[in-house]
Structure 1
Amino acid sequence: MKGNQDIEVLIVEDDLRVAEIQKRFLEQIEGFQTVGIAASYVEAKTLIEILQPDLLLLDVYFPDMNGLDLLKETKQQAKQMDVIMITATKEIDKVQEAISIGVFDYIIKPVVFERFKQSLLRYQEFHRKLVQLGQDNPHVTQQQVDQLLRKDVEGTAGAGDKPYLPKGIDPLTLDKVMEVLGRAEGGLTAERVAKEIGVSRTTARRYLEHLVADDKIEADLAYGTVGRPERVYLVSGTTKRQMST
């Protein structure tokens, strides 16, 4: 563990454009440093051995390897290194395998910044608690273990309460957005939602994109007769059923 220094992150991604996006996302979150980008198995193994990062951002499919196999190797060989899977792979068996091996989180592409930031902040708090516990005492209590396993962000709700909301997302406003969408017969634009709840279009879009990232609503494109297509938002079938019960 590196104490109060930045958390060192190695991005393992064969699409260099995607890797650059992840790098730029990390630059917007205080307390993280990208120490390298690996696009192949050999590069990943070499950089892991040399750099010994705190955290891997790891894809599943590569031309020369399966990211889950690399995940198994890192868990067997590299101590005190965690993994967040960032992949387009949605197969439940792959998700289950990643979870059973011990990933900290599993993010499905395309990555939305708010979802990415939420995961990294949760990891940052987990990492901080782990470092602090190791400095205070080599032994832990059951309560301390429970707090680590829940991976809660400090100052947020615990298990069974409302989930963590990123900075700039107010739960009351979020409820209003869901209420407006729930009443709508079809999809609504960010501008329409903004008028309904009395906020700016930018604010409405921020809440709507957060809900998309959280799989509470869906987004689609509506093609009008004039101008560019507009992004419209609607409550997913599963969420609508939950709201009606």
Structure 2
Amino acid sequence: MAYQPPIEEISVLIIEDDVRIAEINRRLVEKVPGYKVIGIATDGQEAKEQLDILCPHLVLLDIYFPDMNGLEFLEVIHQQYQETDVIMITASREISSVKEALRNGVFDFIVKPLVFERLKNSLEKYQEFRNKLKKIQTENQSINQEEIDELINRQKEQLHSYLPKGIDKITLQKVTEVLNHSEEGLNAERLAKQIGISRPTARRYLEYLVAKDQIGADLSYGDVGRPERIYRKK
């Protein structure tokens, strides 16, 4: 039998101001093979000190702290600790928070209350990502386009698995399909009629896609009445 190198143990730092939740998260993380929590920080100063000393592979980071904003601290990690990856675990459901987290390179964004299966799926995907990257680095000094595409697609697939409250995956797919086949664009009322949902629901999905920068929106001024928003694929 060919030699199999030992599985790398992935070190995790939990940054969470609620000690009870942090301990629950530690237990959940360590139920996943290959993971070890090496520290828990409950405020900004502790987080910075433990990052300096422990150099974890992965941080589980909340957004809301009494003394700091987790999204601002994420930017610090992104700039100063480039060997450390981040998974956000937070009660925040704002689209703006998701967009800012994505811009600063989070591997995943998970909303509270934390469900073990969702966390387990994320940690397994992260483990696959690290193993693939390590294999490429071991075997080659450079990386080809196919390998780059695979790494990027894996991370995109993981990030796109997050949908905020009120956005259903199947309905979102229907909305996207209708938009892709509409050359002139459409408003919320026309979309609602085509897929059988209410106008406010149609507008919610359309604005979600605008916030994700997947479609564009313009104002159309008719002969009478108020201007309406017309949504178009990019």
Which runs of no fewer than 5 residues in structure 1 stay unpaired?
A: 153-157, 164-212, 219-235
Q: Hey, what does 1:105 align to over in structure 2? A: 108
Once residues 51 and 131 of structure 1 are traced to their aligned partners in structure 2, the CA distance between those partners, rounded to angstroms, is 21
Question: Structure 1 residue 71 and structure 2 residue 74: aligned?
Answer: yes
Question: Structure 1 residue 127 and structure 2 residue 160: aligned?
Answer: no
Distance 1:72 1:215, change over 3 A: closer
Once residues 16 and 68 of structure 1 are traced to their aligned partners in structure 2, the CA distance between those partners, rounded to angstroms, is 20
Q: Hey, what does 1:47 align to over in structure 2? A: 50
Once residues 65 and 237 of structure 1 are traced to their aligned partners in structure 2, the CA distance between those partners, rounded to angstroms, is 29
Shift of 1:240: 7.5
Please state whether the residue corresponding to 2:114 is helix, strand or coil.
coil
Q: What TM-score, normalized by structure 1, do the two folds share?
A: 0.62
Note if contact 1:9-1:56 (Cα within 8 Å) is conserved in structure 2. Answer: yes
Moved runs in structure 1, 4+ residues, more than 3 A?
213-216, 236-245
Question: Structure 1 residue 138 and structure 2 residue 141: aligned?
Answer: yes
| Alignment-mate amino acid for residue 83 of structure 2 | Q
- Matched length: 168
Note if contact 1:60-1:67 (Cα within 8 Å) is conserved in structure 2. Answer: yes
Shift of 1:122: 0.4
Q: Hey, what does 2:151 align to over in structure 1? A: 148
Shift of 1:239: 6.1
Identity %: 45
Q: Hey, what does 2:218 align to over in structure 1? A: none
Note if contact 2:110-2:162 (Cα within 8 Å) is conserved in structure 1. Answer: no
Which runs of no fewer than 5 residues in structure 2 stay unpaired?
A: 1-5, 175-194, 197-234
Shift of 1:214: 7.4
Shift of 1:25: 0.7
Aligned partner (choices 30, 35, 40) of residue 37 of structure 1: 40
Q: CA RMSD in A?
A: 2.7
Once residues 20 and 42 of structure 1 are traced to their aligned partners in structure 2, the CA distance between those partners, rounded to angstroms, is 19
Q: What TM-score, normalized by structure 2, do the two folds share?
A: 0.65
Note if contact 2:109-2:162 (Cα within 8 Å) is conserved in structure 1. Answer: no
Once residues 240 and 128 of structure 1 are traced to their aligned partners in structure 2, the CA distance between those partners, rounded to angstroms, is 32
Shift of 1:26: 1.0
